[in-house]
Structure 1
Amino acid sequence: MTAGRERGTAAPETSAIEAGAFSAADLAADHAMASLAGTVRFLLEMTPVNADDVRSAFLAHPESDPVFEYRELDVAPDVLDAEVAALPLDGVTDATLAALLRNRQREMALRVEMLRARATPEFLQLSIAHYGPVLPALVHTAEDLLERLPSGRLEHDSVDAAAFLAAAKAEIDHYRSVDPDIGIHAEIRDDVSGVLVEGNTLLISHNASVAATRVNALLQHEVGTHLVTQVNGLAQPIRMLGSGLAHYDETQEGLAVVAEIACGGLTASRLRQLAARVVAVHSMVGGASFVETHRLLTGHGLPAGSAYGVAMRVYRAGGFTKDAIYLRGLLALLEHVAGGGSLDLLFLGKFSLEDLPLVEDLADRRLLAPAKITPRYLDDPESEGRLRDAARADDLVALVNA
């Protein structure tokens, strides 16, 4: 959906490289930060390696909190901390770029503290500092959705990890037909839970099971949003647009759910899941145990297995509050579009809606390159209408299947 600037014309072909407006010091600082960011697999470090293994035991006897185990950290936090502090940002001359990089440096330092505090009581407060508090209005919206959306097991047919991998590879091949040089991949792993993107790779748990009605929507979420923006961001003069600027997660996840709406794949159970994540985070922050939150979620109508998945994501690493941002990010983007805002620049990389004015400044100064690829769902002539209707809707329930 566009407003003002037309899709695909965020910046002319002869912009950033030929103009050479960024100094060598500017680009060196950005590239150093992007290189450092690429060494940390943050989501993998936060994800238990035994989440699927303990699932059956917990569901058979849901009276004791599960004990999660984690992989060894790839990078020593003390070393990473020193590397973050040593980033050469003092020489950045472009004021907009300096602001973007400084904000991201502060966030990187906070993430190092989260890695250091993983699976300790200190982790939760660091997570709240990173992802923000869950305010009462968001909790009320989530509880209302759980109250009014149909509950229970709503989707029966599913595909396994191998079938979803085949679908993901076909989706990636579509983008390679547009640009053969893009470096994105998909693979099955036995040390992840569910489906997630880390860097340029879609990681699929060997135990993954995806509802058949959700396959395309999940592909548009993971490949059409997270991997597309990674490709476009790395093609920018500012490489951090590929790695992600400060607080990009909320807008990225909101944009990925927008993709699910645009392709007509947002189901009632998926919207309930997003609402349940908010309720679970709120419960955990309030001091509830895993067992208590699991019981709360099943009381809201989630099947026991689904409730375990939601609770596991929230309680991992010591209290990972990231899952509240999906619904919050979606609401912010729908409000943005309803106010006449465009989504176009958001496809150029990973950054927050809060930083959109700064990115617009770079685009207006012809410092950004055009997108190498655009989300496949935008090729659907009905997608723009679905997004327009979603932005106008005064009830989130109306978003189901757009």
Structure 2
Amino acid sequence: MSNVSPFKPAIEEPLLSQIVTALSEGQAIRKDVGKDGRLHIDRPLPFLCLHLTYGTKNLAARDIASANASYLIASNLKEAAPIIQAIGDEMVKRFGAFVILDIGELEHDILLADDSPFLPHYEVAVSATTERETQNARKAFIKAICDAEVRFRTPRITRPEPVQDPILRLNEAGISFPCISVRFAPIYRQPESGADYPGLRETMIADLFDAGLRAFSAFATETNTLNITTHRALGRKAFVDAVRRADRSIDEIAQSFDFLLSVTPINARQAFEEFKQSDFEYAPHFLYRPLGVDVEEQKRKLYSVAFDHLEDPVLYHLYREKQQEIDLQLTMLAHLHKRQYTDFGRALYGSVEPELLALALDVLARCKMPANEDEIPMVGCYEVAQKAREMVDAYHQEEASFKARVEIRDDLPPGLMVTGEKLLISRHTVMEQRRLDALLHHEIGVHLLTYFNGSAQGLRLFRSGLSGYEGVQEGLAVLAEHLSGGMTRQRLRLVAGRVVACAAMLDGASFVETYRLVTEEHHFDQANAFNMVLRVYRGGGLPKDAIYLRGLNEILQHLRKGGALDPFWMGKISAAHFPIMQELSLRGLLRPPGIRPAFLSLARAHERLEKIRSRLSIAEMATL
């Protein structure tokens, strides 16, 4: 039997009726409540996160509450009580149990003295109603908070005085559902000014939100109301409109320029002839496309994108990372051919770590080129384009949305490049026929496939790429060459040689010095060495090409630990985002990959994959 609130309802009956009807039918609810409140339930759940504002603004507690899949923000208890009662009654009917997490902030933090030799604990007051399940949920919350790392300060868990316990006020309002109350010290605010420490605020929101999910999970397990594999599965299963607006804005900025085309010379062939005529003594003169983007204007737009209403700490983190990556790319474009360009490139792609350089040198030492090799049939750009269109058509037959375009271009150095939904082929491309399928599996079966699978996820971010995705993408693409049987010793040497060239460039070597290093010490032929060094010095010095070997090594380590490849086909992600992708999948926000790479179904692909899991080294991956 439900309890009746002693408060005269501050909410109109039609709203309560709509809430009850929606919940009974299993529908989502998103309604404004009062002047600045909101009720959001994206699916029926046996819990509700509650935050009462009492006229306060911009509290972290509000953001913690609104991160949940089921939350109510209201001005006061009079406004909230009838809504809580209506939700609780319906959820008890559906699940047999229901719990409230009431979250708010203490008025003050401990005053910190400037000369204090240490930073004191910060207070988190946690109380709960007496049911065993609720007490265990309280313990789960406390453990999560104590295990979380809030930099510099650790929590001190307290219980509120009985007369000051927020649960008492809920009881007085006639709300007798199981409840956990949390009040935390606002350590994210600066004591004097009241302004935020933004990073600390973000960390606290993420940690307290996670602790709340753990409490809900413990309650659901104890009451047998839900069967879940992880507490993170209790998060959002739908994007709010603010997420889609931010996603669209970020994507429009990312699509306003093509970073790699902007920093790639358009006269590679002529530059090679110029370099040869100088007896390889003087660096050639490279020409570039005019910069077609107003860097300052795009940066202004970039930092005007609002992330404060995403209501999801995970997505907030992903978009902030992407914002910072785009900022670095724009900054690099603004510093093309200047000394700072390479410094910003190092920030974007990282340095060449000693372990990676050692791996590259090992591959070069163990992958010797044969002294004599029979003449190998070659193909040009038109044969490459024809075969590429056939592979695109095959994917299109499997998935109608796979509408990639293949273009032959005069303004690229020899080779292939994917940008968005296009495969660009340099008119100067001449390659071994035996390598053709493998290279197309690299470009189409990985780069284009993840673009179109990412497009199907509902957010453009997954097609344009999460921050730092390129390393894993290139690692997967090189793996595709191996699994499809088209990996040669020369190709492995090229991947390793790029690392050596990047390391030399970052150590201050000139174009000519790096060219001599890869030809004289590592025995690359003139054309391959020039193309390799051109890529490393484009724009003034770009350390991007070290990511191929780094990414391949990351993928191999992942496979050796028993990891699966399927999540990587969902979109363009990095290894660091693997747990996030798993969580978003569990929450139902991501769908399984619509298309799987064709090379995984080739005759010996499974056998090659098992050898990698059995610790086949990179130097042993050549199949031709």
- Cα contact 2:562–2:613 (8 A) shared by 1: no
Equivalent position of 1:13 in the other structure = none
C-alpha displacement of 1:170: 0.6
Query: C-alpha distance in 2, partners of 1:23/1:366?
Result: 14
Task: Extract unaligned runs of 5+ from structure 2.
Answer: 1-235
Equivalent position of 1:352 in the other structure = 574
C-alpha displacement of 1:20: 6.1
Task: Extract unaligned runs of 5+ from structure 1.
Answer: 1-18
For residues 58-77 of structure 1, give each alpha carbon's deviation from its aligned partner in whole angstroms, at most 9, with x where no partner exists: 13421101111110112111
Relative to total residues, which structure has the larger strand share, 1 or 2? 2
**Pairing 1:224–2:442 present:** no
C-alpha displacement of 1:370: 2.8
Query: C-alpha distance in 2, partners of 1:89/1:401?
Result: 48
Match of 1:325 among 547, 563, 573: 547
For residues 139-176 of structure 1, give each alpha carbon's deviation from its aligned partner in whole angstroms, at most 9, with x where no partner exists: 11111211221237967321101110001101101011
Q: Give the alignment of 1:168-179 within 5 angstroms.
A: 168-179=388-399
* SS of alignment partner, residue 257 of structure 1: helix
Query: C-alpha distance in 1, partners of 2:355/2:401?
Result: 45
Q: Give the alignment of 1:56-67 within 5 angstroms.
A: 56-60=273-277, 61-67=279-285
- The Cα RMSD (Å) is 1.5
Equivalent position of 1:183 in the other structure = 403
* SS of alignment partner, residue 67 of structure 1: coil
What is the total number of aligned residue pairs between the two structures? 384
Query: C-alpha distance in 2, partners of 1:176/1:211?
Result: 26
Q: Give the alignment of 1:186-201 within 5 angstroms.
A: 186-193=406-413, 194-201=415-422
Equivalent position of 1:10 in the other structure = none
Match of 1:203 among 416, 424, 430: 424
Normalising by structure 1, we get a TM-score of 0.92
- Cα contact 2:249–2:305 (8 A) shared by 1: yes
Equivalent position of 2:587 in the other structure = 365
333-342 or 177-186, which deviates more:
177-186
- Cα contact 1:254–1:328 (8 A) shared by 2: yes
**Pairing 1:135–2:353 present:** yes
* SS of alignment partner, residue 379 of structure 2: strand
C-alpha displacement of 1:134: 0.4
Query: C-alpha distance in 1, partners of 2:581/2:329?
Result: 23
178-187 or 218-227, which deviates more:
178-187
Return the letter of the residue paired with 1:366: G
Match of 1:117 among 335, 339, 356: 335
Q: Give the alignment of 1:279-294 within 5 angstroms.
A: 279-294=500-515
Match of 1:37 among 225, 249, 254: 254
For residues 13-40 of structure 1, give each alpha carbon's deviation from its aligned partner in whole angstroms, at most 9, with x where no partner exists: xxxxxx9611111122112212221222
**Higher relative CO (CA 8 A, sep ≥ 6), structure 1 or 2?**
1
252-261 or 56-65, which deviates more:
56-65
Match of 1:27 among 217, 228, 244: 244
- Cα contact 1:151–1:302 (8 A) shared by 2: no
C-alpha displacement of 1:381: 4.1
Query: C-alpha distance in 2, partners of 1:81/1:211?
Result: 43
- Cα contact 1:232–1:349 (8 A) shared by 2: yes
- Cα contact 2:363–2:619 (8 A) shared by 1: yes
Equivalent position of 2:230 in the other structure = none
C-alpha displacement of 1:86: 1.3
Query: C-alpha distance in 2, partners of 1:148/1:182?
Result: 40
Match of 2:310 among 92, 97, 106: 92
C-alpha displacement of 1:312: 0.3
Normalising by structure 2, we get a TM-score of 0.60
Query: C-alpha distance in 2, partners of 1:321/1:214?
Result: 26
**Pairing 1:237–2:458 present:** yes
* SS of alignment partner, residue 458 of structure 2: coil
Equivalent position of 1:383 in the other structure = 605
The sequence identity of aligned pairs, in percent, is 38
Query: C-alpha distance in 2, partners of 1:134/1:229?
Result: 27
Return the letter of the residue paired with 2:566: D
* SS of alignment partner, residue 476 of structure 2: helix
- Cα contact 1:159–1:210 (8 A) shared by 2: yes
**Which has the larger Rg?**
2
Return the letter of the residue paired with 2:343: Q
Relative to total residues, which structure has the larger helix share, 1 or 2? 1
